Amino acid sequence: MDFLPLFTDLRNKPCLLIGGGQVALRKSRLLCKAGAQVRLVSHEILPELSSLVLNAGGECIRGDYGDHLLDNVFLVIAATDDQALNSRVSAACHQRHIPVNVVDDPALCSVILPAIIDRSPLIIAISSGGKSPVLARMMRSRLEASIPAAYGRLGNLASQFRDAVKERFEDIEDRRHFWEKALQGPVAEMVFAGNDKAAATMLGDAIKNGSIDNGGEVYLIGAGPGDPDLMTFKALRLLQRADVVLYDRLVAPAIVDMCRKDAERVYVGKARSDHAVPQQDINSLLVKYAREGKKVARLKGGDPFIFGRGGEEIEELAQHKIPFQVVPGITAAAGCASYAGIPLTHRDYAQSVRFVTGHLKDNSINLPWQELAKPAQTVVFYMGLIGLPSICEKLIEFGRPADTPIALVQQGTTSDQKVVVATLATMVEKLKHETVRAPTLIIVGEVVKLREKLAWYEKYDLAKADI
Cα dihedral 258, 262, 266, 267 in deg (nearest 10): 40
Residue 328 marked in a binding site = no
Contacts of 181 (CB under 8 A, 6+ apart): 211, 212, 214
Over the Cα atoms of the chain, what is R_g?
A: 30
CB 420 within 8 A of CB 431: yes
Active site residue 418: no
Residue 314 marked in a binding site = no
The closest of 266, 308, 300, 261 to 284, measured between CA atoms, is: 266
Contacts of 302 (CB under 8 A, 6+ apart): 222, 223, 224, 225, 250, 308, 329, 330, 331, 332, 335
Return the beta strands (E) in 11-114 as ranges: 14-18, 37-41, 59-61, 75-78, 100-102
Residue 275 marked in a binding site = no
Residues 467 and 465: their CA atoms lie apart, in Å, by 6
How many of the other CB atoms lie within 10 Å of CB of 269?
15
CB 255 within 8 A of CB 167: no
Residue 306 marked in a binding site = yes
Residue 412 marked in a binding site = yes
Give the dihedral sign, CA 455/461/462/465: negative
Residues 334 and 20: their CA atoms lie apart, in Å, by 45
Residue 301 marked in a binding site = yes
Residue 22 marked in a binding site = yes
Residue 303 marked in a binding site = yes
CB 212 within 8 A of CB 185: yes
Residues 322 and 219: their CA atoms lie apart, in Å, by 11
Residue 47 marked in a binding site = no
Catalytic one among 105, 118, 181, 270?
270
Residue 332 marked in a binding site = yes
Residues 48 and 44: their CA atoms lie apart, in Å, by 12
Residue 43 marked in a binding site = yes
User: How open is the CA angle 163-190-180, to the nearest 5 degrees?
Assistant: 50
Single-letter amino acid code for the residue at 112 = I
Active site residue 270: yes
Catalytic one among 248, 294, 295, 394?
248
Residues 238 and 253: their CA atoms lie apart, in Å, by 17
Residue 387 marked in a binding site = no
CB 250 within 8 A of CB 256: no
- Residues flagged as binding site for NAD(+): 22-23, 43-44
Positions annotated as catalytic residues are 248, 270
- Residues flagged as binding site: 22-23, 43-44, 225, 301-303, 306, 331-332, 383, 412
- Residues flagged as binding site for S-adenosyl-L-methionine: 225, 301-303, 306, 331-332, 383, 412
